[in-house]
């Protein structure tokens, strides 16, 4: 128990991570104070999502992610899937905009920059490109030579982690974005479900190829040493399973959230039609 506070200290402090996570929580709280009123479960989902991002990048968990392949895959599972999923499903946009009213007039003050950013964002949120980037980044950072360089170079390591976190936020935001949001492309329910299904096969193939490999693929952990006394193949097989199975479960969880949201809205519309508000 005496070691617990030590486990919460960063293995390698990152001012950017602290500013990003702390700033997000402060802005969200300010938005709530200024009148945004999301459902309690949405507030919890947002705070847990931000906390998970902080935990895997700024506590002792980051140490294990550097010296165990399966811990690294667990870290990226949180950064790319779980934490962005929770943040996106919490729909924090209204609270964040309420916290910074200046955002609303920024486009009027710099219309050309606003249009450029909007076009760039919409391009990244093109469904086929979003799905390609989502799976492609996982595969890119798992190319053995690229992975070797990223785990030994501090700047590449942080670039790897932040690229996964930001891409995860973009993808899951596209999946769960409300249809009334003009900045994010509006997808039908079927389009959202198809997007979630489309990313499953390549992730399964990638994870299976690692989990079922008969020789070590990532020798950087032999060079730097492992944090636990397990063999290279054991480490790799567990990491492959984390790349293979949980992402499939996340896609299925996303489908269930979308269906539940759709059924809830349909039920609400049916009740409104059956019991219309009295005329003034």
Among candidates 265, 133, 253, 246, which has minimal Cα distance to 193?
Answer: 253
- Provide the pLDDT for residue 2: 47
pLDDT of residue 132: 97
How far apart CA 252 and CA 54 sit, in angstroms, is: 25
Give the per-residue pLDDT at 1.
45
Dump pLDDT digits (tens) for 106-165: 555 556 766 787 788 888 889 999 999 999 999 999 999 999 999 999 999 999 999 999
Mean pLDDT in residue range 50-75: 95
pLDDT of residue 240: 97
Distances (CA, A) of 279 to 273, 275, 276: 14, 12, 9
Residue 119 vs residue 232, higher pLDDT: 232
Between CA 253 and CA 250 the distance in angstroms is 5
Q: How far apart are CA 260 and CA 192, in angstroms?
A: 13
Q: In the predicted model, is pLDDT for residue 81 greater than 50?
A: yes
CB 245 within 8 A of CB 207: yes
Share of the chain above pLDDT 70, in %: 87
Q: How confident is the model at residue 96 (pLDDT cuts 50, 70, 90)?
A: confident
Percent of the chain with pLDDT over 90: 67
Mean predicted confidence (pLDDT) in 82-111: 79
* Mean pLDDT on 12-34: 92
105 vs 184, higher pLDDT: 184
What pLDDT sits at residue 109?
Answer: 59
pLDDT at 180 over 80: no
Provide the 3-class DSSP secondary structure of residue 212. coil
Segments making up each domain of the chain, as ranges: 10-104+113-274
One DSSP character per residue, 127-139 reads HHHHHHHHHHHHH
pLDDT mean over 52-66: 94
């Amino acid at each position: 128990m005496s070691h617990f506070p030590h486990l919460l200290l960063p293995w390698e402090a990152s001012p950017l991570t602290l500013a990003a996570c702390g700033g997000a929580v402060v802005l969200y709280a300010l938005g709530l104070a200024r009148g945004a009123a999301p459902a309690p479960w949405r507030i919890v989902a947002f705070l847990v999502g931000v906390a998970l991002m902080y935990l895997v990048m700024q506590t002792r968990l980051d140490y294990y992610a550097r010296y165990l392949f399966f811990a690294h895959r667990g870290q990226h599972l949180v950064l790319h899937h779980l934490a962005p999923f929770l943040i996106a499903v919490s729909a924090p946009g209204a609270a964040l905009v309420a916290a910074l009213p200046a955002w609303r007039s920024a486009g009027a003050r710099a219309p050309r920059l606003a249009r450029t950013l909007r076009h760039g964002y919409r391009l990244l949120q093109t469904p086929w490109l979003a799905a390609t980037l989502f799976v492609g980044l996982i595969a890119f950072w798992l190319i053995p030579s690229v992975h070797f360089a990223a785990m030994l170079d501090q700047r590449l390591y942080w670039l790897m982690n932040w690229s996964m976190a930001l891409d995860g936020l973009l993808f899951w935001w596209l999946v769960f974005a409300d249809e009334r949001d003009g900045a994010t492309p509006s997808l039908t329910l079927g389009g959202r479900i198809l997007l979630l299904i489309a990313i499953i096969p390549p992730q399964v193939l990638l994870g299976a190829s690692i989990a079922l490999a008969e020789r070590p693929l990532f020798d950087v952990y032999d060079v730097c040493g492992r944090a636990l006394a397990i063999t290279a193949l054991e480490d790799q097989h567990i990491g492959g399973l984390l790349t293979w199975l949980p992402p499939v479960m996340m896609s299925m969880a996303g489908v269930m959230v979308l269906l539940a949201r759709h059924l809830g809205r349909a039920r609400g519309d049916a009740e409104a039609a059956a019991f219309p508000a009295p005329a003034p």
